[in-house]
């Protein structure tokens, strides 16, 4: 009898011990999972910034060493302005605006000073900016006397009840708000004017020979490219994106591309990413490229890299368009996705690491 009691007591003790160890094991597993989660969270970048200076048939064989060095120097100058703002705790909106200002003031890019010419030999500029925290946005289209269109887009977002203003009305508002205004001749650059003349001549040849090729440009062989843009994440976790352009060489009838269209050329949402586009605007509008990348992330669970690849490498080409985007997600991951031969681009992370690219490979 005592033997049976002893065995029963021993079994009961073993079972009780096992019962106690199970919760402890679960607790340990839970703690491990929490630690892994926190480790992942710690890998989130404090801030990040990415820019582009346009996409197109940018080939090394067509680029002189001097011109390549000039582009790289200007891309670095621009991105460091935004990087310093973010590093010092500034907002992603300020970083985007000030970074784009540098590219708008450079004749190297199709924005601001380097804007391309319309068929009427004028320069008509478009821009937009978006706040990922509030989903507020501002845009301007078809201005001819506003020195920095991205500043006007920011003012429209911050101080007006509207999202977009165009033409003379936008310029009137810019004057009222004290923005820097210039004579239209400020935007003249000989290289862009010569590109227009070649585009017009090429068009005549196309009409004579029924040639369906795009307008020709010796440096970037697609007159529809050249936009500048920026996407950034700040230390407060807020995303922003902005885009500025002179549009398409030889454009007519007040044509407006994707750059000032929220959701096509620019989009930012703190729940997903911030995107700036550059490409054949008509197709980027139809595909709502910038918003679509955000939506694929938010609703389908794709990563930024997966979403950007799907839209730029599959959706846009299927429609017949081409171009690219730069984007940053809420964790500071950055992507420069394009389906052309090249795209002027640069990135800087919170460690101060700078990467500049021009060509596909």
DSSP string over 7-42: HHHHHHHHHHHHHHHHHHHHHHHHHHHHHHHHHHHH
Q: What is the pLDDT of residues 217-248, one digit of tens each?
A: 444 445 556 699 999 999 999 999 999 999 99
The predicted pLDDT at position 361 comes to 76
Q: Cα(243)–Cα(111) distance, rounded to whole angstroms?
A: 9
CB 241 within 8 A of CB 278: no
Q: Pick the closest to residue 257 from 222, 232, 233, 231 (CA basis).
A: 222
How far the first Cα of the chain sits from its last, in Å, is 84
The predicted pLDDT at position 56 comes to 87
Catalytic residue among 145, 227, 249, 266: 227
Q: What is the pLDDT of residues 61-74, one digit of tens each?
A: 888 999 999 999 99
> Is 143 a residue of the active site?
no
H-type helices in the chain, by residue range?
2-42, 65-87, 92-104, 149-159, 167-176, 190-209, 281-287, 289-300, 304-309, 316-319
Residues above pLDDT 90, as percent of the chain: 77
Q: In this predicted structure, which of 32-36, 79-83, 172-176, 207-211 has the lowest mean pLDDT? A: 32-36
Task: Read off the tokens for 320.
Answer: 């017949």
CA separation, residue 52 to residues 74, 76, 159, 319 (Å): 11, 11, 27, 23
Q: Cα(280)–Cα(17) distance, rounded to whole angstroms?
A: 70
Does the pLDDT of residue 27 top 70, yes or no?
no
Q: Pick the closest to residue 249 from 230, 228, 266, 227 (CA basis).
A: 227
Specify the higher pLDDT residue, 40 or 252: 252
């Amino acid at each position: 009898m005592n033997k049976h009691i002893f065995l029963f007591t021993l079994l009961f003790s073993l079972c009780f011990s096992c019962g106690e160890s199970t919760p402890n094991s679960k607790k340990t597993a839970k703690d491990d999972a929490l630690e892994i989660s926190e480790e992942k969270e710690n890998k989130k970048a404090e801030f990040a910034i990415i820019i582009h200076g346009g996409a197109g048939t940018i080939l090394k064989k067509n680029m002189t060493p001097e011109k390549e060095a000039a582009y790289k120097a200007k891309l670095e100058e621009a991105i460091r302005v935004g990087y310093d703002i973010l590093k010092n705790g500034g907002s992603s909106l300020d970083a985007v605006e000030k970074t784009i200002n540098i590219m708008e003031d450079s004749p190297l890019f199709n924005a601001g000073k380097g804007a391309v010419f319309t068929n009427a030999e004028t320069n008509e500029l478009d821009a937009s900016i978006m706040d990922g925290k509030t989903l507020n946005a501002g845009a301007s289209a078809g201005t001819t006397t506003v020195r920095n269109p991205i500043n006007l887009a920011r003012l429209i977002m911050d101080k007006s009840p509207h999202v977009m203003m165009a033409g003379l009305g936008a310029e009137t508002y810019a004057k009222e708000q004290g923005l820097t205004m210039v004579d239209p001749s400020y935007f003249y650059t000989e290289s862009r004017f010569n590109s227009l003349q070649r585009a017009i001549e090429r068009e005549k040849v196309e009409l004579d020979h029924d040639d369906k090729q795009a307008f020709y440009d010796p440096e970037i062989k697609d007159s529809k490219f050249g936009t500048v843009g920026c996407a950034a994440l700040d230390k407060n976790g807020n995303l922003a994106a902005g885009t500025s352009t002179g549009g398409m060489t030889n454009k007519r009838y007040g044509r407006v591309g994707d750059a000032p269209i929220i959701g096509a050329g620019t989009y930012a949402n703190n729940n997903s990413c911030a995107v700036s586009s550059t490409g054949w605007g008509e197709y980027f509008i139809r595909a709502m490229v910038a918003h679509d990348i955000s939506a694929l992330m938010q609703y389908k669970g794709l990563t930024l890299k997966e979403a950007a690849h799907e839209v730029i490498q599959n959706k846009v080409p299927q429609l017949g368009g081409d171009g690219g985007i730069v984007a940053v997600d809420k964790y500071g991951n950055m992507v420069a996705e394009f389906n052309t031969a090249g795209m002027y681009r640069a990135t800087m992370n919170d460690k101060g690491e700078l990467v500049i690219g021009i060509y596909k490979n």
